[in-house]
Amino acid sequence: MKEFPLARPYIGQAEINSVVKVLKSGVLSLGPVGQEFEEAFAKRVGTRYACAVSSGTAGLHLAILAAGIGYGDEVITTPFSFVASANCILYVGAKPVFVDIDPITYNIDPAKIEKKITRRTKAILVVHIFGQPTAMDTVMKLAKKYKLRVIEDACESIGATYQGRQAGTFGESAVFAFYANKQMTTAEGGMIVTNSKRVYEQCKSLANQGRSANLQWLDHNRLGYNYRLDELSSALGREQLRRLDWMIAKRRQIAGWYTECLSEFADIVEAPQTAPGNTHTWFVYVVLIHGTSSQRDRVIQALHNSGVASKPYLPSIHLFKFYKEQFGYRRGDFPLSESVSDRSLALPFYIGLTKKDVKEIVSRFITTLTRYGNK
Ligand SMILES: *Cc1c(COP(=O)(O)O)cnc(C)c1O
């Protein structure tokens, strides 16, 4: 029986060669490849600057710091995300104020933001979840009206567009991530993009122990971190970036096969939808089933036994224990986010899956669902 993992990076010979070349060069950090990767990345997204960092989480931390967010500030964000997008707000002593999601994209619902704005609100941190951008026109209008910063967590949505414009080009800064399951990978790594020279220089400095570009090695003029991306990872990223359009096209093709195969089961499975005005770059392929979260968990277990990996995607952040304890969030606070969290399931999704594979996965999934999903 063929087994299907949830995700798998696509690594070609060019990536292997470029990493070996760095190893042989003797320059393993703070070298020319990192700089080249940053320049190529900024060009691809269409921003003036890009600052490579050691992870998406590190990038979010620096983007928050560069926005001047600190103790006592409030940041409006979504509960339906990977935990890092809210944790980075906690890192600086600010408070995440959650707003429920849009039922099509699962991104923050911009229509619900305004009534959460207070005198303490400093920023809106949107997350473009699963490969599809947030409706940025309303977000940007609100930001202008109330003089709020906008930070985009674009970690799952590289290459996606909203009304023809690239995710990551709307806010003061945006962050991308390159963990091994993302659309492109550097193993671990991330990138902050911005059009602001101030934000760029601050991020570069903070990622490198508080040194400015013109400082000597042991001069530090602010509290900084070591969030640098090494040359090996940068070389990997530089090659992945060259194939990005091809990899996105492949992901779209596989998503299309899934949607086609699932269409005849629309009464028991909800396939993902793309909002008008958006293009989708498919970080994951997530379906919703009917029933409770324990039924969904049973389906995942049974699918696992049939050789198909799947996962709940994603738990709502406000229901994690430390968020509930610190901020008093409760079940029922964000019903749409909770409903997606309870019923969602990510199916195997990676370059290399054939149409035959997708048919086989869907067949095992539907068999499992009809057996375990409604009991
Ligand atoms: C992957 C991801 C991040 C960053 O993750 P790292 O593992 O730190 O690179 C942040 N936000 C979202 C929504 C993500 O999916």
What pLDDT does 255 receive? Answer: 98
Q: Which two tokens stand for residue 96?
A: 């995440």
Q: Which two tokens stand for residue 258?
A: 């899934």
Read off the amino acid at residue 313.
Answer: Y
What are the pLDDT digits (tens) for 208-225? 999 988 777 778 888 999
Closest CA to 86 of 186, 171, 155: 155
Closest CA to 229 of 9, 31, 43: 31
pLDDT above 70 as % of the chain: 99
What pLDDT does 220 receive? Answer: 85
What pLDDT does 232 receive? Answer: 98
Whether 357 has a pLDDT exceeding 70, the answer reads yes
Residue in the structure block whose two tokens are 């970036």? 241
Nearest atom, ligand 1, residue 85 CA: 11
What pLDDT does 70 receive? Answer: 98
What pLDDT does 311 receive? Answer: 97
Separation of alpha carbons 315 and 355, rounded Å: 29
pLDDT band at 87 (very low <50, low <70, confident <90, very high): very high
Q: Which two tokens stand for residue 10?
A: 């696509």
Beta-ladder partners of 108: 101
Cα of 19 vs its chain's centroid, Å: 25
Closest CA to 113 of 134, 89, 86, 92: 134
Catalytic-labelled residue, pool 182, 311, 324, 375: 182
Whether 302 has a pLDDT exceeding 70, the answer reads yes
CA of 371 to the centre of ligand 1 (A): 34
What pLDDT does 374 receive? Answer: 60
Lowest mean pLDDT among 13-17, 208-212, 347-351, 364-368: 208-212
Pocket lining: 84 vs ligand 1, CB cutoff 6 Å: yes
What are the pLDDT digits (tens) for 61-78? 999 999 999 999 999 999
Closest CA to 361 of 295, 249, 269, 297: 269
pTM for the whole thing?
A: 0.97
Nearest atom, ligand 1, residue 60 CA: 10
- Average pLDDT of the segment spanning 367-373: 89
Residues 6+ apart with CB under 8 A from 233: 178, 186, 187, 188, 189
What pLDDT does 284 receive? Answer: 98
Pocket lining: 78 vs ligand 1, CB cutoff 6 Å: no
Separation of alpha carbons 113 and 233, rounded Å: 38
Separation of alpha carbons 37 and 51, rounded Å: 9
Pocket lining: 177 vs ligand 1, CB cutoff 6 Å: yes
What pLDDT does 257 receive? Answer: 98
- Output the average pLDDT for the chain: 97
Edge-to-edge strands, sheet with 173-177: 49-53, 190-194, 173-177, 149-153, 121-127, 74-77, 95-98
Lowest mean pLDDT among 175-189, 216-230, 266-280: 216-230
Whether 106 has a pLDDT exceeding 90, the answer reads yes
For every residue of 71-87, DSSP letters joined together read: TT-EEEE-SSS-THHHH
**Number of separate helices (H) and strands (E) present in the chain:** 12, 13
Pocket lining: 56 vs ligand 1, CB cutoff 6 Å: yes
Residues 6+ apart with CB under 8 A from 158: 45, 167, 168, 176, 182, 183, 184, 244, 281
What are the pLDDT digits (tens) for 89-102? 999 999 999 999 99
Nearest atom, ligand 1, residue 182 CA: 1
What pLDDT does 213 receive? Answer: 80
In a mutational test of the pocket of ligand 1, which residue from 179, 184, 283, 337 has the highest number of ligand atoms less than 8 Å from its CB? Answer: 179
